[in-house]
Amino acid sequence: FLPPEALERLDHDELVPVSQCGIDIPEYLDKAILKGLAVQPEDRFQSAAEFLGAIESQQVVEVPVSGAAAAPAPEKKKAKPALIAGLAAAVVVAVGIGIAIGGGARDATDGGGGGNPVAEALAPKVTIGGEAYSTALTELDLSNLGLENADLQNLAEMKDLKSLNLSGNTEITDLSPLSGLTNLEVLQLSDGNSMVYSELSDLTPLENLTNLRVLLIPDRSNIQDLSPLSQLTALEELSIMGSHHTEGGLISNLEPLAGLSHLRVLSLNVGSADLSPLRNLASLESVEISGDIYVDDLSVFSQLTNLKTLRLRGFREEACPTQTLEPFSGLTQLQELVIDLEGVQSFSGIEHLTALREVELFLSGGTYTNLDPFAALENLQSLSLSRSSRQDFTLDIQALSGLENLQSLNLFPSDEVLDWSPVDHVPNVTKG
Specify the fold of 294-432.
3.80.10
With H, G, I as helix, E, B as strand and everything else as coil, classify residue 28: helix
pLDDT of residue 102: 38
Give yes or no for a cis peptide into 413 (omega within 30° of 0). yes
pLDDT of residue 315: 65
Q: Please compute the mean of the pLDDT values over residues 30-34 and round it to a whole number.
A: 78
Q: Are 369 and 393 in contact (CB under 8 A)?
A: yes
User: How far does CA 355 lie from the centroid of its chain?
Assistant: 26
Residues in CB range of 178: below 8 A, 6 or more apart: 152, 155, 156, 164, 184, 187, 205, 206, 209
- Let me know the angle formed at the C-alpha of 427 by 423 and 431, rounded to the nearest 5 degrees: 65
| Portions of the chain given CATH number 3.80.10.10 | 294-432
- pTM, 2 dp: 0.76
Which run of H or of E encompasses 313?
strand 309-314
Q: What is the mean pLDDT of the chain?
A: 83
Count of other CB atoms within 10 angstroms of residue 318: 15
Which pLDDT tens digit goes with each residue over 300-334? 999 999 999 999 987 666 668 899 999 999 999 99
Which pLDDT tens digit goes with each residue over 231-253? 999 999 999 875 444 455 688 89
Q: Which of 256, 300, 295 is nearest to 282 (CA)?
A: 300
- At 41, is the pLDDT very low, low, confident or very high (cuts 50, 70, 90)? confident
Residues in CB range of 110: below 8 A, 6 or more apart: none
